[in-house]
Structure 1
Amino acid sequence: MSGIKDKVIVITGASGGIGEATAMLLAERGAQVVLGARRLDQLEAVANRIEKSGGKATYLVTDVKRSEDLSKIVQLAHEKFGKLDVLINNAGFMPMSPFDDLRVKDWEEMIDINIKGVLYGIAAALPTFRNQGSGHFINIASTAAYRILPNMSVYAGTKLAVRAISEGLRQEAGHNLRVTIVSPGFTNTPGSTHSDALEAIKDPDLKAKLEAYQNIGLSPSSIAKAIAFAIEQPNDVDVSEIVVRPTAQG
C-alpha cells in the first residue's frame, strides 16, 4: 500500500520537536500513529491534539534505552490498530562539549539513545515486517554524520553509526522492506535550543554559535515533510537517504 492514509506508524521521541511535528503531519494525512517518549504528560498532550483534529493516535511511555520498551510499543501498534507499517526511530540526544570536558556520562547516553535505541527499534519491528512481507524503517541521523565539527565528535560518531546500520539493513532487507535515513541539519528542537542545553555548554564561543544557529534553524515541520515524502512513495520505491539543511547552514 503506497501513500500515508491508514498506515500504522510508530514514532519514538514523539513528545516534542521533530517527533511531534511528524506525528501531527502524518495523522493529518490519515495515518494511525503510535507515539513513544519518556514524558507522559507531553505524550498525552500530542495524542489529544491529534484526536481533537479528527486523527487516530495512541501512546506509550517509552525509553529507547530499554529494548523491552520498543517491543511493547510495537505490540501496542498491533493491539490497537492490527498491524505496523512504519517505524520511525527518531529519539535522540545531542549534548555538545569538547573532549577536554570529559563528559563521559553524556557520551554513554548518546551511545545508548542514538545507537542502541535504533538497534532496539530494529529488533522489535523486523520480525513483524518479515511476517507481514512489508514494512518501512525510517532512522533519523544528522548532517553531523557528513561533516565532523569540534565539540560534536561523539554525537557525529553516533549518527555515522546510524547511517552505517541503516545502509547495512537496507542491503539485507530484500525487496519487500524499505529503509530510509533522514539527516536533518540544524533544526529548532527542544534538544538543540532548550535553555538547559545551552546552560550545559561551558565554552562561551560554542554557546554563542549555537544561539546564532537558532536564527537560521529549520522548523521541525520541514523534517516531518521529508519523512512523509519517503513514506508516501510506492512500495517498490526506496528513498534511501534524505539530507535536509537550512540554506544558510555551511
Structure 2
Amino acid sequence: MTQQHPTDLADPSDVADQGTIAGKVIAITGANSGIGAAIAEHLAQRGASVVLGARRADRLAEVVERIDAAGGVAFGLEVDVRQRADVARLVATAQERYGRLDVLVSNAGSMAISGFDELRQDDWDDMVATNLTGVLNGIGAALPVFRAQGSGHFVHMASTSAHRIVPTQGVYAATKTAVRVLSEALRQEAGPDLRVTVVSPGMTNTEWVRSAAADDDAASYVRSIAQPPSAIARAVAYAIEQPAGVDVGEIIVRPTAQS
C-alpha cells in the first residue's frame, strides 16, 4: 500500500540547520493509529514530509488519506519493526522519494501487559522484539544515513513505566527502561551532529491502553483521565523544531490525574 505526494524540498543542509519542522523528511513507525498517527498528522500539518510504516496497511492507508486531504505530504508502506529488512526499507524509501531522512521516530510498540504468574511468554517475546529490538533496528538502519548526511535525529518512544514500576507491567517497563538506557548511550556516542530524544508518555487514550484495562469500568476510568495522543505529538514536534546544536534529551508527558 503506497501513495505518492510530490513536494518541493529545501536543500538538505539548509533544512538541517533551521529550527523548524517545515521541509523536514520524517519517518515514523507504528503510524497507523493512536500516538503514531497523531504524530504523523501533526508533523505533516507543520510542513514535514512524512514516511509512515506500520503492520496494518489498511489502517495506515486511512492515515495517509487524512494527511493528503489536509494538504500534507505522506507516503505509507507496510513495516514490521521486528524485521530488520522492513525498517531498512522504510529508511531507504524516505531517501529514494525525498532525497534524505532528517528524523526517525521509533514509535511502534506492544503493551501486552500481564502478571508474571500468567506466564504469557509469547507476549514477553513480542514486547522485547517490538519495543526494544524494533528501536535497535531503527538505529541500525538510520545511523549510517545520518552519519553520511552529517545530521539526523532519533526520537524514541519510552514510557512513564520506565520511571515508576507497577504490578503487571514488569516486562513492558523493562523494555521501555532499556530504550531510555540505549538512547542515552547513543546520545553520548552520537557527537555534535546528531540528536537523540526520548519521549515518555504517561496514560494516553489509545486502543492499546484501553485494551490493557481489566474490565469495562477500568477502561472507562482510563478514558476519563488519559491524555489525548495529540499531547505526545506536540512534544515530539517541540523536540524536532529546536535549532541545530540543541538536543532535547527526554520529555515526560502525562495527565495531571496520573499518580
TM-score band w.r.t. shorter chain? over 0.9
**Alignment CA distance shift 1:208-1:98 (3 Å):** farther
Which secondary structure state, in structure 2, belongs to the residue aligned with residue 22 of structure 1? helix
- 8 A contact 2:195–2:247 mirrored in 1: yes
Aligned to 2:72: 55
**Is 2:234 aligned against 1:225?**
yes
Task: Identify which of 151, 171, 181 aligns with 1:154.
Answer: 171
Say yes or no: does 1:235 pair with 2:252: no
Give the SS at the match of 2:139.
helix
Deviations 1:105-130 (A, max 9, x none): 11000000000000000000000000
Q: Which deviations, in whole Å up to 9, do the C-alpha atoms of 1:204-239 show, x marking residues without a partner?
A: 6xx754542221001000000000000000011000
Q: In 2, distance between residues paired with 1:114 and 1:154?
A: 10
Query: Which residue of the partner structure matches residue 139 of structure 1?
Result: 156
Return the TM-score normalized by structure 1.
0.94
What is the rounded CA distance, in whole Å, between the counterparts of 1:216 and 1:234 in structure 2?
A: 34
Match of 2:187 among 161, 170, 186: 170
Partner of 1:125: 142
**1:41 matched to which residue of 2?**
58
Gaps of 5+ in 2: 1-16
* Distance in 1 between residues matched to 2:160 and 2:219, nearest whole Å: 15
C-alpha offsets along residues 12-53 of structure 1, whole Å, 9 cap, x if unaligned? 000000000000000000000000000111111111111111
Amino acid at match of 2:229: P
Partner of 2:255: 246
Count of aligned positions: 242
Q: SS at the partner of 1:215?
A: helix
Deviations 1:138-162 (A, max 9, x none): 0000000000000101100000000
- Report the Cα distance in structure 2 between the residues aligned to 1:10 and 1:34, rounded to whole angstroms: 5
TM-score with structure 2 length normalisation?
0.91
CA distance in 2, matches of 1:39, 1:105: 20
Q: Deviating runs (4+, > 4 A) in structure 1?
A: 207-211
| Partner secondary structure for residue 225 of structure 2 | coil
Q: Match of 2:114?
A: 97
Letter of the structure 2 residue corresponding to residue 147 of structure 1: R
One-letter amino acid of the structure 1 residue matched with residue 150 of structure 2? G
Give runs of aligned pairs for residues 72-83 of structure 1, distance below 5 A: 72-83=89-100
Q: Take 2:132 and 2:220, find their aligned partners in 1: how far apart are those partners?
A: 27
Q: CA deviation at 1:95?
A: 1.4
- CA deviation after TM superposition for structure 1 residue 246, in Å: 0.3
**Cα distance between partner residues in 1 of 2:119 and 2:162:** 21
The corresponding residue for 2:45 is: 28
5+ long unaligned stretches in structure 1: none
- 2:202 pairs, out of 177, 185, 202, with 185
% identity of equivalent residues: 55
Counterpart-to-counterpart distance in 1, 2:87 and 2:131: 14
Does structure 1 residue 68 correspond to structure 2 residue 92? Answer: no
**Of the candidates 94, 97, 105, which is equivalent to residue 88 of structure 1?**
105
Equivalent position of 1:3 in the other structure: 20
Asked whether the 8 Å contact 2:210–2:222 carries over to 1, the reply is no
Aligned to 1:15, the other structure's residue is in SS state coil
Q: Structure 1 229/113 Cα, relative in aligned 2: closer, same or farther at 3 Å?
A: same
2:39 counterpart SS class: helix
Whether the aligned pair in 1 keeps the contact of 2:47 and 2:72 (CA below 8 Å) is: yes
Q: Which residue among 133, 136, 142 is the counterpart of 1:116?
A: 133
